Structure 1
Amino acid sequence: MAGKIIYDKLREKMKEKGLTTYKIRKEKIISEGTLQNIRNDGRITTDAIASLCAALDCQPGDILEYVPDEMMQRDNEQ
């Protein structure tokens, strides 16, 4: 595995901008499955990233963070 994309920055940006999961569902910004993947730092599509960027008025780098395997292993060992 080459590392992982994590969504801590996305969750922080959502809080900052007041974008709740209720609003995401109501306005159909992304699917419930995508929300679940975000909660679990799973995979999401570039279409979902684009929808979130539009809703949050930001760029992908503002909401995504790449963490190399070595850092993930170190965090898990602590």
Structure 2
Amino acid sequence: MLVYKIDVLATLKEAGYNTTRLRKEKLLNESAIQYIRKGKPVGAKALDNICMLLDMQPGNILKYVEIENTKNNVNQKL
């Protein structure tokens, strides 16, 4: 499961991008902002924009955390 390593919205705000500005300038859409608030991973385009705005690599923003049952379920489906 992908989880955020940083508080994305707080980091964007520190960089001068509050949620109003993100929406107004169409840097992130409303659904991406809501996904971030809920701790869910965003799509590639939103992640690309976040990386650009923060001058970070995806690995600085997200990390993979293995959930015990997930690996077993994937192996069973194969």
TM-score (ref. length: structure 2): 0.68
Q: 2:48 aligns with which of 47, 50, 72?
A: 50
TM-score (ref. length: structure 1): 0.68
Structure 1 outlier segments of 4+, above 4 Å: none
Q: 5+ unaligned residues in a row in structure 1: which ranges? A: 71-78
Please state whether the residue corresponding to 2:20 is helix, strand or coil. helix
- Do the aligned residues in 2 keep the contact of 1:6 with 1:65 (CA within 8 Å)? yes
Q: Comparing both chains, which one has the higher relative contact order based on Cα–Cα distances under 8 Å and sequence gaps of 6 or more?
A: 1
Q: 5+ unaligned residues in a row in structure 2: which ranges? A: 69-78
- Do the aligned residues in 2 keep the contact of 1:34 with 1:44 (CA within 8 Å)? yes
Q: 2:30 aligns with which of 22, 29, 32?
A: 32
Q: Distance in 2 between matches of 1:67 and 1:12?
A: 22
Deviations 1:26-46 (A, max 9, x none): 110111011111111223111
The structure with the largest alpha-carbon Rg is: 2
Q: How many residues align?
A: 67
Q: 2:62 aligns with which of 56, 64, 68?
A: 64
- Output the aligned Cα RMSD: 1.9
Q: CA deviation at 1:12?
A: 4.5
